[in-house]
Amino acid sequence: MTADDDVKQSIRMTADRLLVRPSKELGERKSRSGILIPATAEVNRRLVWAEVLAAGPTVRNIESGDNVLFSPDTGFEVEIRAEEYLILRERDIHAVANDKAEGGTGLYL
């Protein structure tokens, strides 16, 4: 293996794409009563949160560092240096949570 084989390359998202790190709730989770629900269980219409790591140049309403709410069956999985990420389109995002207070619902994470 030469020194050139381990060169790190930066990732730049294109168009309206977002690179996100899904929260742990995308995998196994517990019900309110403490029952373990496996990741393979069919859960209809449950949205999950993810942290935005990078946004493409035409993304208008979402920035790096925002938390976004999306359906787990949208987007594409990608593995980067042994970690799992998702690539989503801006139109697949249902809500954005960030530190800004303008236009908020009064609900907080």
Residue range 63-84, pLDDT digits in tens: 999 999 999 889 999 999 999 9
Are the CB atoms for 78 and 87 separated by under 8 Å? yes
Instruction: Return the percentage of the chain with pLDDT > 70, whole number.
Output: 74
Q: 18: pLDDT confidence band, cut at 50, 70 and 90?
A: very high
Q: What is the rounded average pLDDT of the residues 22-34?
A: 70
Residue 52 and residue 59: Cα distance in Å, rounded?
A: 12
What's the pLDDT score for residue 9? 87
Residue 105 and residue 12: Cα distance in Å, rounded?
A: 32
Look at residue 93 and tell me whether its pLDDT is greater than 70.
yes
Report the CATH fold assignment for 12-97.
10 Kd Chaperonin, Protein Cpn10; Chain O (2.30.33)
Tokens of 82: 């042994």
Q: 98: pLDDT confidence band, cut at 50, 70 and 90?
A: confident
Burial 2-14 (b: 16+ CB within 10 A, else e): eeeeeeeeeeebe
- If one counts every other C-beta atom within 10 angstroms of the C-beta of residue 93, the result is 22
Q: What is the rounded average pLDDT of the residues 41-57?
A: 85
3-state secondary structure (DSSP) of residue 21: strand
3-state secondary structure (DSSP) of residue 80: strand
Terminal CA-CA length for the chain: 46
Q: Which residue has the tokens 């949208």?
A: 74
